[in-house]
Amino acid sequence: MNNYFSIQDIDSLPGWVEEAIAIKKNPLSNKTLGKDKTIGLLFFNPSLRTRLSTQKAALNLGMNVMVMNFTGEGWSLEYGDGTIMDQGNSEHVKEAAQVVSQYCDILGVRAFAKLEDRDDDYSEKVLNGFINHASIPVINMESATRHPLQALTDAITITEYKKTDKPKVVLSWAPHPKALPQAVANSFVEMMQRMDADFVITHPVGFELASQITKQVPIDYNQENALKDADFVYVKNWSAYQEYGKVINDDPSWKITNKKMKLTNDAKLMHCLPVRRNVVVDDVVLDSNNSIVIEQANNRTYAAQLVLKKILEKS
Ligand code: CP
């Protein structure tokens, strides 16, 4: 594996999940694999989990870690080919990616969707700019359209907690005051299509994700119906794909409540975090024994460690 761009870079999902769970049991088992290697983590957006779990994963492998908050600290980057750079951007990704490649052995990049221009976001110009011009492996730490480290984490977490071979998993849209990207939902949908799961998406009309991602996954516009007998409820907001980046509906009745959880098969509650309490999901649900969001966040380390291990073993 040269880059970890999306979950399509996972060659054998059951094998990867099994290996991540083994790493979790003995996280220092490869503590010299990354000796004298350096990972650079570039953040164009805020982060708590991705930043710290990826650092922790690298440290568990004996790597050196350099972190840079690009926005506000780095030069403003240009991505276009042949651009006459007489406007605000000071440096082209062509130089930036090559320069970073001399300082690091692996690069992680976080660059969210701007939610202004769908084609621009879905072209993944920032992540692809680094992948195309870096001479080292690049890891997606949440790009405009994908969050594959989160999706691998989610697969590990569902595998750990499932009580049946084919659990019912419901991805439920929830209200949110701000327009959020589709990256987490997109990667989770892609992951559920690769797992053995009875998978349903529920959201209000107008919040359909890209059809090239959802493919044949059933969509139920009736949330309570979708939640019936669920083993896992993954709650997440995303902004509209068709009316791109718009909050066309913030209907509070889509919040996950205790009453709704009672429709499920004693389901586990998942969320990638950060989560807006009592907007997305009620306190009583988030604080219940059915909530596995903290353990889910813990698994971010082992997902990242597995990806780094695979890259280091190849190099
Ligand atoms: N889930 C996730 O990616 O969290 P952060 O945005 O805090 O990294």
Would you say residue 244 has pLDDT above 80? yes
Q: For a pocket test of ligand 1, which of 42, 50, 186, 300 has the largest count of ligand atoms closer than 8 A to its C-beta?
A: 50
Nearest protein CA to atom 4 of ligand 1, as residue: 49
Which whole number is the average pLDDT over 309-314?
97
Nearest protein CA to atom 3 of ligand 1, as residue: 50
Determine contact, residues 210/182, Cβ cutoff 8 Å: yes
Give the DSSP per-residue string, 60-112. HTT-EEEEEE-TTTSPPEE--TT----SS--EEHHHHHHHHHHH-SEEEEE--
pLDDT-based confidence at 196, cuts 50/70/90? very high
Nearest protein CA to atom 6 of ligand 1, as residue: 47
Does residue 273 line the site of ligand 1, with CB under 6 A? yes
pLDDT-based confidence at 250, cuts 50/70/90? confident
Q: Measure Cα distances from 142 to 6, 168, 182 in Å.
A: 9, 26, 10
Would you say residue 48 has pLDDT above 80? yes
pLDDT at position 249: 87
Which whole number is the average pLDDT over 253-258?
98
pLDDT at position 315: 85
Atom of ligand 1 nearest to the CA of 141: 3
Tell me which residue has tokens 């080919």: 81
Does residue 284 line the site of ligand 1, with CB under 6 A? no
Domain 148-296 bears CATH identifier 3.40.50.10440: no
Q: Which CATH superfamily is domain 7-146+300-314 in?
A: Aspartate/ornithine carbamoyltransferase (3.40.50.1370)
Per-residue pLDDT reduced to its tens digit, 103-115: 999 999 999 999 9
Does residue 154 line the site of ligand 1, with CB under 6 A? no
Give the distance (Å) from ligand 1 centre to CA of residue 151.
12
Per-residue pLDDT reduced to its tens digit, 198-241: 999 999 999 999 999 999 999 999 999 999 999 999 999 999 99
pLDDT-based confidence at 67, cuts 50/70/90? very high
Would you say residue 296 has pLDDT above 80? yes
Would you say residue 150 has pLDDT above 90? yes
pLDDT at position 297: 98
Tell me which residue has tokens 């190849």: 314
Distance CA 133, CA 283 (A): 45
pLDDT at position 162: 98
pLDDT at position 72: 86
Portion of the chain with pLDDT greater than 90, in percent: 98
Distance CA 46, CA 122 (A): 20
Which whole number is the average pLDDT over 287-306?
98
Q: For a pocket test of ligand 1, which of 52, 67, 142 has the largest count of ligand atoms closer than 8 A to its C-beta?
A: 142
Q: For a pocket test of ligand 1, which of 49, 56, 143 has the largest count of ligand atoms closer than 8 A to its C-beta?
A: 49
Tell me which residue has tokens 């009453």: 259
Determine contact, residues 199/214, Cβ cutoff 8 Å: no
Give the distance (Å) from ligand 1 centre to CA of residue 300.
9
Does residue 50 line the site of ligand 1, with CB under 6 A? yes
Tell me if domain 7-146+300-314 and domain 148-296 are identical in fold: yes
Does residue 142 line the site of ligand 1, with CB under 6 A? yes
Domain ranges across the chain? 7-146+300-314, 148-296
Portion of the chain with pLDDT greater than 70, in percent: 100
pTM value is 0.98
Which whole number is the average pLDDT over 180-185?
98
Per-residue pLDDT reduced to its tens digit, 69-93: 998 899 999 999 999 999 999 999 9
Atom of ligand 1 nearest to the CA of 273: 1
pLDDT at position 115: 98
Atom of ligand 1 nearest to the CA of 46: 6
